[in-house]
Structure 1
Amino acid sequence: MTVHGISAPGRRASGDPLDIAVVGRGFSGIMMAIALLKTVTQPFRLRLFDPAPTISGGQALAGARSTEILNSRARDLSVATGEPKDFTRWLQASSEFRDAVSAAIPGFGQIFVPKSIFSDYVYQRFSEALAQRRDVTVQMSHDIADDIRRLDHGGVRLGFADGGAMVFDDVILATGYGLKADAGDVARALTREITTPQSVEKHVIVMGSGLRAVDQVLQLRDAGFAGRISILSRRGFLPQPHTRLAADSVFPTQPMPSQLRHILRFVREACAEAEENGWSWQAAMNGLRKRASSLWSSLPPSEKRQFNRHLRSIYDAHRNRLPADVHARLERELGAGLTELRRGTALRRSSQGLVVRWAGEQAESLFTADRIIDCRCLSADLDVPVIAAALRNQLAVTDELQLGLSVNPAGELLDARGRSLGLFAIGPLGLGSLPDIDLVPEIVAQTYAAATLIDMRARPQRQAG
């Protein structure tokens, strides 16, 4: 391994441990570490990089905000491949959680849990997986990776902001959307500031209308903010509700049409048919998600762009759903009049608020506010140094819509010639290639697929005969 600019060694000797780097210690990064620990059969050294100096298992149950809940049912949150009930068994093993959950709920698999509880589960499973691997060493580093390149003799060199460098056999980028700061942390800090007794905030604009925006609105109310809230959205679609009970996947089995407008009609008819047969449109959308990746890959670039411009917000509102109780609370909040949904495009900030162009108008208008909280879902920041370096050094290419990096289902980075061996981008960085790769079940499946590839390539070649 190369450290702080020392010249790189030759190829890894047979039998030496693998050196693997994961850049990012959010859910995608820790999930990747779990998959490696449970899948790679030979010894390896793992280093997890993230600017944050520590990792945390989340708050205790009593301290979690009721609005900060995941939008997937507990049944879909297992981090153990082949064990879909692992998370629900973990919940049932907690007497504190059992006491907190109503006995009327038909099974732990159907409930929605606070993010902090899921975080506790993920880090416990990480700790357990590490404890079972005496042949693996794991190091946490808060060095900032700002360069990546392939070496002629093999291996991938990561460079760091302090001038140092290290060489690895495999590097996995798991940096979420590539954002330089956690927008959620910023929003929570603003919430505390807005709701202090000394605050004189009367009007807050929440930019975006997805799950994070809804969370932010309800957190503001939970913290005591009594002023006016405007949800500013370009398209004006809010997340739709989950069903009260689980909606199993239902979808027609016949081949899908090949043109976008015919696909849209096909999906609408599938939703209507599901409801006519006593299921729900949510069940049809769950079925559609299972075919989303193959359907997306079959569309030509022009139709992908058309989908992104006109249909993405509708699709996201129906796939990223709110638990029924939270959706009902949102409707009550909007019905009370102090919170409103406004359709418009934010053009720029001003000292008095936002300059916007309202839907259906050409003129610019000043939308005054005491505070602006940006909760929009952003595409990957391709200018983050390590991502920019991967593109500059031709180790990766952007997807057709330039939403992120081009990857295959296992998360392998694709360069201009095909697969970029030994390099992966896990999770939302590949959202332009894989339409649902920002959801927990899809990230879990992808990390195990990536770990399986790493394991297969690292196994000593058996001699023929």
Structure 2
Amino acid sequence: MSVDPGGPVPEQAVPPDAAAGAPVPSVAIVGAGFSGTLLALHLLRRAPPATRVVLVERNTQFGRGPAYSTGNSSHLLNVPAGRMSAFHNSPGDFLAWLGSLPEADLCGIEPGPGTFVPRRMFGRYIRQLVNNELKVPGRRAQLELVRGDVTNIAVHAGGVSLTLDRDRTIEADRAVLAIGNFPPAPPPVADPSFYDTDQYRADPWGPETLEGLDPDAPVLLVGTGLTMVDTVISLLDQEHRGPITALSRRGLLPHRHAPAPPVAWPEADSIPTRLNQLARTLRGNAEAAVSAGCGWHGVIDEIRPVTTDLWQTMSLSDRQRFLRHLRPWWDVHRHRLAGPVADRIDAVRRSGQLRIRAGRIRGYERRPDGLVDVCFRPRFGDGTDRVEALRVINCAGPDADYSRIRDPLVRDLLRQGLVRPDPLCLGLDVTAKCALRGRDGAISRRLFAVGPVTKGAFWEMTAVPDIRQQAEFLAEQLASLVRARSGAPAASPSVSPVAAPGPAAMPVERPLATADLGSAPAA
């Protein structure tokens, strides 16, 4: 339904229990990117019909998040379309949705299980799922979409109070943090004043990151992972001709997906959980697979279903050693590039326009000609090397150390002692059931988390299949708490039919009982 964002807010139906005077169980989800939106969809299908779900998003678009809101059709998914369904029990849902689109909307692709489609199409799919859900009878009385910035969460007897901008408040029984990723932290240097200049871009996804850039200017990208690849593709698509240098401590690039589905490696009877033994086993299996002509990809994919179990079984010291020494190699083998993207990166490297360097940044020296010399210590060799740039873009990956993240909500939760960083500085400390832990280690019965913020406990919490599994699990946990409070029977999870093609317009924001929410989000 297309809605005039400046138009009147429609009257909201009242849930049956509320009309009868009974308390209405409610869950507020902070963040409506992929993690938060998917949790809301699964919770609606599992919780009693009277449950109220409030989905709060600070940005203008619900259901996308930074990864899937890119307007560049060259930014492809890193997972084949056949594994991108939002529902475990309907693995072909995304493919079916793609098949329902008119040919003009497919950007020239032929949808198939192994196709890597533009990321923006997956964002559109998620938005369409929300629209479909709102067509289910009674859903509009259950799901509230609120555009706003949550700055405080207070826990009190019987529930939580969320404070938003414009002096608004949301009351709920429980709240879930689905706050996604934060921009990368700047490399530590003796004089950080360069980071306050107009030559530095802290957020690779910011709308101004590539604005006003001379197409012949030299550019330095800090980091050599997937975000760097996206930025290079964006530069090439706007016909950038100048030299591009990508610098990271080890200079490792993500590998490409196998040209055909990887041959499944024989299932092991057991998998070691000691880091040294696990590394030796993976290396040995990969070498054997390559010798057999199968390729190493299947060896990595074979342990994906048990990655979380491996992570949670490892000792803390082994996990710390993994992060210090092996994480970059794991990332480039585990999180791979679609073939067409890898081809473009290979081509621009062969031409010499893109150079990959390995080293640690030591400082910045601004020059009278407007350029900056970025000084770094090479990984191999002595002394200091340098590379010139007109613009430096930080593509080093999200900052996950919550002890230094300046987001107002995060700072307030830490100040209150309601949350604490996990021991590995990968996110916030949560239990195996996604409940947040306070400063003293207490397990909250009111606050939960989903998505990348839980990486410390679950590790693989960035790809869609992993987040989908977690969202389904947490939805069932929350639904059981709601049922215990209300005495309602369990709901039967359902799957919405494939969305009809067409623009995915988000519904209007509806008023809460506690505050006037103002105008609706843009459709």
**Partner of 2:208: helix, strand, or coil?**
helix
Select the structure with the greater relative contact order (CA < 8 A; seq sep ≥ 6): 2
Which ranges of 4 or more aligned residues in structure 1 deviate by more than 6 Å? Answer: none
Q: Distance in 2 between matches of 1:39 and 1:120?
A: 24
Kindly provide the CA deviation profile for residues 261-281 of structure 1, in whole angstroms up to 9, marking residues without a partner as x: 221111111223333444331
Q: 1:156, 1:171 within 8 Å by CA — same for their partners in 2?
A: yes
**Partner of 2:254: helix, strand, or coil?**
coil
Q: Quick one: which of 138, 142, 145 aligns to 2:147?
A: 142
Q: 2:73, 2:120 within 8 Å by CA — same for their partners in 1?
A: no
Q: Quick one: which of 445, 451, 454 aligns to 1:421?
A: 445
1:116 aligns with: 120
2:343 is equivalent to residue 319 of structure 1:
no
Larger mean Cα displacement after TM superposition, 15-24 or 175-184: 175-184
Q: 1:192, 1:223 within 8 Å by CA — same for their partners in 2?
A: no
**Partner of 1:457: helix, strand, or coil?**
helix
2:50 is equivalent to residue 73 of structure 1:
no
| Map 1:263-278 → 2, pairs under 5 A | 263-278=278-293
Q: Distance in 2 between matches of 1:461 and 1:182?
A: 49
Structure 1: 5+ residue stretches without partners: 1-11
Q: Distance in 2 between matches of 1:49 and 1:343?
A: 41
Q: 1:420 to 1:179 in 2, by over 3 A?
A: farther
| Map 1:69-218 → 2, pairs under 5 A | 69-96=76-103, 101=108, 108-135=112-139, 136-151=141-156, 153-162=157-166, 164-179=168-183, 183-186=203-206, 189-194=208-213, 199=214, 201-218=216-233
Deviation at 1:15, TM superposition (A): 4.2
Deviation at 1:43, TM superposition (A): 1.6
Deviation at 1:71, TM superposition (A): 0.2
**Partner of 2:144: helix, strand, or coil?**
strand
Q: 1:418 to 1:283 in 2, by over 3 A?
A: farther
Kindly provide the CA deviation profile for residues 232-284 of structure 1, in whole angstroms up to 9, marking residues without a partner as x: 11111100010122236535423222321221111111223333444331111
Q: Which amino acid aligns with 1:390?
A: L
Kindly provide the CA deviation profile for residues 110-156 of structure 1, in whole angstroms up to 9, marking residues without a partner as x: 100101111111100111112215153433333322222321x2212
2:392 is equivalent to residue 369 of structure 1:
no
The two structures have a TM-score, normalised by structure 2, of 0.77
Larger mean Cα displacement after TM superposition, 72-81 or 352-361: 352-361
2:395 is equivalent to residue 391 of structure 1:
no
Q: Distance in 1 between matches of 2:411 and 2:77?
A: 31
2:473 aligns with: 449
Report the identity percentage.
27
Q: 1:70, 1:114 within 8 Å by CA — same for their partners in 2?
A: yes
Q: 2:183, 2:397 within 8 Å by CA — same for their partners in 1?
A: no
**Partner of 2:220: helix, strand, or coil?**
strand
Q: Distance in 1 between matches of 2:432 and 2:467?
A: 10
| Map 1:292-441 → 2, pairs under 5 A | 292-351=307-366, 352-360=372-380, 363=383, 366-380=386-400, 382=402, 383=405, 384-415=407-438, 416-417=440-441, 419-441=443-465
Q: 1:100 to 1:389 in 2, by over 3 A?
A: closer
1:22 aligns with: 29
The two structures have a TM-score, normalised by structure 1, of 0.86
**Partner of 1:275: helix, strand, or coil?**
helix
Kindly provide the CA deviation profile for residues 339-381 of structure 1, in whole angstroms up to 9, marking residues without a partner as x: 1001112344453243423224565555321111111112325
Q: What is the RMSD computed on CA atoms of the aligned residues?
A: 2.9
Kindly provide the CA deviation profile for residues 96-116 of structure 1, in whole angstroms up to 9, marking residues without a partner as x: 16975566xxx7111001011
**Partner of 1:431: helix, strand, or coil?**
helix
Kindly provide the CA deviation profile for residues 316-353 of structure 1, in whole angstroms up to 9, marking residues without a partner as x: 10111001222122112111112100111234445324
Q: 1:235 to 1:297 in 2, by over 3 A?
A: same
Larger mean Cα displacement after TM superposition, 163-172 or 86-95: 163-172
Larger mean Cα displacement after TM superposition, 412-421 or 81-90: 412-421
Deviation at 1:167, TM superposition (A): 2.5
Q: Distance in 2 between matches of 1:395 and 1:42?
A: 30
Q: Distance in 2 between matches of 1:331 and 1:462?
A: 57
Q: Quick one: which of 239, 243, 247 aligns to 1:228?
A: 243
2:306 is equivalent to residue 291 of structure 1:
yes
Q: 1:32 to 1:184 in 2, by over 3 A?
A: farther
Q: Which amino acid aligns with 1:38?
A: R
**Partner of 1:117: helix, strand, or coil?**
helix
Q: 1:50, 1:141 within 8 Å by CA — same for their partners in 2?
A: yes
Kindly provide the CA deviation profile for residues 50-85 of structure 1, in whole angstroms up to 9, marking residues without a partner as x: 322444779xxxx95342111000011101230011
1:239 aligns with: 254
Deviation at 1:285, TM superposition (A): 0.7
Q: Distance in 1 between matches of 2:326 and 2:267?
A: 21
Q: 1:251, 1:270 within 8 Å by CA — same for their partners in 2?
A: no
Q: 1:171 to 1:250 in 2, by over 3 A?
A: farther
**Partner of 2:437: helix, strand, or coil?**
strand
Q: 2:49, 2:142 within 8 Å by CA — same for their partners in 1?
A: no
Structure 2: 5+ residue stretches without partners: 1-17, 185-200, 367-371, 490-523
Q: Which amino acid aligns with 2:477?
A: L
**Partner of 2:28: helix, strand, or coil?**
strand
Larger mean Cα displacement after TM superposition, 351-360 or 338-347: 351-360
**Partner of 1:146: helix, strand, or coil?**
strand
Q: 1:141 to 1:66 in 2, by over 3 A?
A: closer
Q: 1:278 to 1:420 in 2, by over 3 A?
A: farther
1:43 aligns with: 50
Q: Which amino acid aligns with 1:183?
A: D
Q: Which amino acid aligns with 2:436?
A: L
